[in-house]
Structure 1
Amino acid sequence: MRKSIASYLILTLTICILVFVSFSSKETIDLSRYSTAGLELNYTVSQDENINDNVLASNGVKNADIPYLGKSFVGFKEALAFKESRGNYFTVNTLGYLGKYQFGKGTLKLIGIHNPALFLKTPELQEKAFIANTQRNKWILRRDIKNFVGKTINGILVTESGILAAAHLAGPGSVKTYLRSYGLNSFEDGFGTSIEYYMKRFSGYDTSFIKGNRRAKAI
């Protein structure tokens, strides 16, 4: 019995010695070397925990949660608005054109709007005005759309969306003159932007949503 107890004591003492030697032989690590004190830390990712993989740029990314406008009608009107005003509903340019789509007061009267101040502060009315004006232009240019879409004028393929964009810029009469002269009689606005530029830049959008309407009104 005494021998058994003595064996246990010797074993315990041996284990304690080995543990002590093991810890004493390791190099002490100075964690202060890894401190961030004094460093300028720049974080480029938001700390918002709700961010997920759906938060992506929409240019070309097809995602169920992100509307990809592409060549849709909404894509058409938003691209045109960006060119006109950078999409700003409340801007007035140096020539007096108003809002997101840069309407002149004369054009507004044609579609039933006689209060420019109210128009400028009402985004919903501006959207209605764009639809009404485009419907009116499509009715005026219906024969030219039928006769010229698919043809090439001055190296530019004529499309319906290009015609409607040019009509927004220059008015349907100027576009009709341009098409029927096969590009000989063109138009430029007060900033030097031409019918040809709009015909090319806004080519190929789907504007079938718009139905020609001679009496289209925003109000």
Structure 2
Amino acid sequence: MGQPGAGTHEKAQLRAQVRQRRRRRSAGARHAAQAGFAAQLARVLARTGPGDVAAFLPLPGEPPLLPGLEAAHAAGRRVWLPVVEPGHRLAWVQWHPGAELVAGSLPGLLEPAGPRRELDVFAAVRLLLVPVVAVDRDGVRLGFGGGYYDRFLEGLGSAGHRPRTMACCFADEVLPAGHVPREPHDAVLAEVLTERAVLRLGGTD
């Protein structure tokens, strides 16, 4: 991969390319993908034992997860969404359809209002969906550049919590193996949920 600085530069270029493609995705295509994401999430949860779901509130252009999360809530699962804390940390707020959303600390970010919880909520979480700009077939995640989820996933493992953890992105954002430069701090994921399928990563599918 080269020196860390080179990897960071390559990631920035790749991130810009994928985001440009996201901006070109039509509203009709994003709307059509809602049903696919909801169906794939429902299939995963049907094979998952009772418990909570942790996901994310999609920004414009990101996977339209809300219908799937609404269905999970209607089925009796608690849904947790992240909020940004100082020090590049994440806390978690319980969400329900129609919950109040407030401006977050990052530009353009909306977050659920409510009591903020830490890693303790993951004692009951069975599925964690991780936002990515892209992920490659080795499971290397291209994030948003802030390191929030790399830190969070490291802390989650150290706390002994092991929910089923999946990247979540559009199918055309799953890239060939070796396509995302990996740096020492990068989390590697074993699965990805798209609007078309759930794929194993790391050369297992």
Same fold (TM over 0.5): no
- The structure with the largest alpha-carbon Rg is 1
The TM-score range, normalised by the shorter chain, is under 0.3
* Structure having the larger proportion of residues in helix: 1
